[in-house]
Amino acid sequence: MEWLTSIARGSLGILVLLGICYLLSSDRKAINWRLVIIGTLLQLVLAVVILRVPFVRNVFDFIASFFVVVLDFTEAGADFVLGKWPQVAEIKDGLTGDVFTVGYVFAFKVLPTIIFFSALSSLLYYLGILQFIIKGFAWVMSKTMQLTGAESLAAAANVFIGQTEAPLVVKPYLEGMSKSEMLCLMTGGMATIAGGVFAAYVGFLGGSDPEMQRVFATHLLTASIISAPAAIVAAKMLFPESREIDLEKQQLNIPRQEVGNNVLDAISRGTTDGIKLAVNVGAMLLVFTAFVAMFNYILLNGLGSWTGLNDYVVETTDGRFQGFNLEYLLGVIFAPIAWLLGATSSDIMIVGQLLGLKTTLNEFFAYAALEGVKDQISTKSMLIATYALCGFANFASIGIQIGGIGAIAPGQRKNLTELGIKALIGGTVACFLTAAIAGMLVG
């Protein structure tokens, strides 16, 4: 009976999330319900095939094992440059006050992984391998969901590369895109993650255990793939296409880009980009952690202390929260959504605050918090949180997209600024749809 309950709750969650998109739609009468139904079914079919069909699951496990090996390659490079560090830094988990060790994992595994995988992605793009895979995914989505070629390519590219790199795949089409197509591009960027941080999350969540690394690699890869059709569904509900599709745009042609003069140049460029990304990730996590600590100090020692809310929170949550802090507030706000996604009832406050951290700050900070509480929640809640957090949907990404896409398509800057919030909502809904479906299947 438990699996029936999971399916019922997940189905309710999907309906609620689609209902939110319907209520916020710019033109409800223009919504293409055929696209919505097919997109949702495509997401469900992909999830079932990947997670439940043994042969396909074995293929994805094999791919996941590749990422585990990549982590070993990265560690070899990190050990050579940085040396082996037997001592790990200890930091306090902001949720419980418990001390857990992440210094070594983050500084000497996660950040080097971002750099190496960025270089590897650049090499694969130079060799044409990544383009071939992207075109395959784009063909499936263009045929099943009747999207323009540009939309299909961008949605497929977002599965493998970042939200500022994916638009380069459709650079010649950007200036001529409609608002609906532009929102589809932006939402796809919000709903998926880049390859570099994907490998980093595998190392971060899996720790030093190769088997756990493989498990998380499989789930993160699944999440990123099935979020692509979810992003299209959310975007096309929020801003339906009002013009006739130009058949010329059905051509799935990826324009050539300057990724290097030769193999070594491609690797060098990818390494440089990876360094920029790694420094940005480290700096952002440092700053956000400091700000959260500051807000928690104010709330705990101010309102929480003066009103007695600290004691109330500790008592009602059985000590899971230190008191009236930011994590508790986000947990209260997002707990109903965590329940709809299928999280275990006793875990909805913790999963809810993770969803809130991801939306208001970023997914890396949320994954850091998840790593600190994974022993306090059920396996199912852990997996649902892993799927729900797998995307760039946060407020900072609005600025990143406006700056990144606006630089290569200046004529779209006005549309980018107007569609920013809708893209955030669409990307968030897409990630949550993916988590709801995963909650129905992981059991």
pLDDT in tens, 67-82: 777 767 776 776 666 6
**CA–CA separation, 142 vs 35, rounded Å?**
11
Q: Smallest Cα–Cα separation from 191: which of 432, 361, 440?
A: 432
**pLDDT exceeds cutoff 90 at 336:** yes
**CA–CA separation, 303 vs 60, rounded Å?**
49
Q: Which amino acid is at 245?
A: I
Assess contact for 337 and 432: CB atoms under 8 A. yes
Least reliable range by pLDDT among 38-52, 242-256, 358-372:
242-256
**pLDDT exceeds cutoff 60 at 98:** no
DSSP letter at 101 equals E
277-300: average pLDDT: 78
**CA–CA separation, 296 vs 174, rounded Å?**
43
Q: Is the pTM of this model over 0.95?
A: no
Identify the residue whose tokens are 């469900």.
44
Query: Higher confidence at residue 74 or residue 274?
Result: 274
Query: Higher confidence at residue 123 or residue 114?
Result: 123
Q: How confident is the model at residue 29 (pLDDT cuts 50, 70, 90)?
A: very high
Q: How confident is the model at residue 24 (pLDDT cuts 50, 70, 90)?
A: very high
**CA–CA separation, 371 vs 200, rounded Å?**
13
**CA–CA separation, 213 vs 220, rounded Å?**
10
Instruction: Identify the pLDDT of residue 43.
Output: 92
**pLDDT exceeds cutoff 90 at 290:** no
**CA–CA separation, 2 vs 122, rounded Å?**
45
Query: 411-431 pLDDT, tens per residue?
Result: 988 999 999 999 999 999 999
Q: How confident is the model at residue 323 (pLDDT cuts 50, 70, 90)?
A: confident
List b or e across 304-316, with b for residues whose CB sees 16 or more CB atoms inside 10 angstroms: beeeebbeebbee
**CA–CA separation, 286 vs 156, rounded Å?**
32
Q: Smallest Cα–Cα separation from 206: which of 220, 191, 193, 223?
A: 220
Number of neighbouring beta carbons within 10 Å of residue 145: 21
Instruction: Identify the pLDDT of residue 147.
Output: 80
Q: Smallest Cα–Cα separation from 22: which of 233, 209, 171, 223?
A: 233
338-354: average pLDDT: 91
Query: 375-414 pLDDT, tens per residue?
Result: 889 999 999 999 999 998 888 888 888 888 888 888 988 9
**pLDDT exceeds cutoff 50 at 221:** yes
**CA–CA separation, 241 vs 252, rounded Å?**
20
**pLDDT exceeds cutoff 80 at 259:** no
**CA–CA separation, 237 vs 228, rounded Å?**
15
**CA–CA separation, 170 vs 167, rounded Å?**
5
